[in-house]
Chains A and B, each alone.
Chain A
Amino acid sequence: MPSVSETAPVLAKETGGPAVRVEHVSVTYRTTFERMPTFKNALVRFGRGERAVKEVHAVRDVSFEIDHGTTIGIIGANGAGKSTLMRTIAGILPPTSGRIEVHGRVSTLLALGVGFNPALSGRENVVLGGLAAGLTRKEIQQRYEQIAEFAELGEFIDMPMRTYSSGMYSRLAFSVAVHMDPDILLVDEALSAGDAHFKQKAAAKMHELVGQARTMFLVSHALASIKDLCTDAIWLHNGQLMMRGKPGDVVDAYNRFLKVGEGAFTLEDL
């Protein structure tokens, strides 16, 4: 299968550099807090001399390097900037300052699910998502059977996605992300809706990917999974890099910081 995905990791490794290099990256975005930004509201605000645009400092001066083959866990409280950092590495959000270098094909499994249109069937969505991610029709066809099989959707794969349960949704999303043959996989709390059986299967698949010397970013509140899967960990707080080190050490420091024991996270896995 002479595809881009096979040549890419070789290319990236030959350069000898890290898989991902993040240099002094800050992400500040200006966004409106209106529920619906409308022209009418803009006029009203202009009349009152107000501004609705607020600045959010989501990530502040974060620097790190990740080598190929690393599985890195990213932990931190809600709103720490974990998802923003993932989006920046994926190239969806531009950094406000700093620089990010990514070597290899990136596949994302981000918190909001995959870009699925609920009116279309699972099959159509897989094709659309793959094309958007830059795969050719042929490459998608080659992967399609594996994706459908892994997601275990049966006949639902040809039904509109509005008929799916949230578990089926996340199973398909996970299956698409891991079968894109990524060099770098970004996973952001995407497995919360799968059942125990699928979680085991997903964890096994992730171990397999780790074994193939892929680079993986894993954002999770499931600290046990971070310790189990990752070889490296980063702790973000309020957009700042608090600590980088062995997963066990980082998780311990994070727990001490939160003043909670190990027990606080046992309800979740992955």
Chain B
Amino acid sequence: MTTMIEARGLTKRYGKTAALDGLDLTAQRGQVVAVLGPNGAGKTTFVRIVATLLAPDDGTLRVAGHDVRRDPAAVRRAIGLAGQFAAIEPAMTGRENLEMVARLFGLGRRDAKAAAASVLEQLGLAPDADRLARTYSGGMRRRLDLGVSLVGAPRLLLLDEPTTGLDPRSRIELWDAIRALVASGTDVLLTTQYLDEADHLASQIVIIDHGRAVAAGTPGELKRRIGGRVVEIHVSRREDLGRAAALLERLHGPATLDEATRRVSVGVGSGSDDLMTTLRSLRDADVAVEDVAMRQPNLDEVFLALTGHAAAA
């Protein structure tokens, strides 16, 4: 059996609104799958159903070979969950938090100690292991939370927006921790609103919108469909904006125009060559440029490219 998660027509309604509206999603073993989507797309609902915290209204879901409705206990033995909050006990030390959950996973006292020690080492928390978790920084709490979800050696790790609210440095530290786990063979399902996060961590990305999967593929495949990078031009004079947009459209395809900030952006093929061509033709057309950026497309642009409509906030 090579499938870790298999969702078919998964539906969950809250009153009249459908948080999940017939979601199909397959995750193979040995993969890190990122569920990417805007707020309200159904990401958290999906993770909660996978974690057996919510029952679906319709459809089927198998996790690690077990049906979530028929055998939730077997699913719970296979998963580790790190939700949107650092669900740790602040009045216990990092080590105590880990040992407690290891015990709840059924490890004996000595095995729980060993499991906690190895997770502390793995996540770089060993020097702070015996301080109360309430003295930890936000980034350390999230790392400890990740550790708690790991200490029972789950086959599938569920991470719901693991880096939301973290500063850039803590975010990169957490990414490193997650990548190290993946290297050691844990399967991961993570949700995120950030394309770069999915790109960094996942081998497979599923984009969801209004409770359905709208696109799926490897990061490379999706980026090829979006068109790789985005060049963003900030023009000096407002009256040049229309001309610059027309120019970019002729060179690269549909451009997005933002009157208020005097910016035009467009998806480009690969990188520096496209940037050079763009700048050269802007100079030839006598468009004064205030600022130029080349970057990864953001979630809004991905949505526009893949679904033809903007992401609902």
Q: Does B bind A?
A: no
- Which B residues contact A (CB, under 8 angstroms)? none
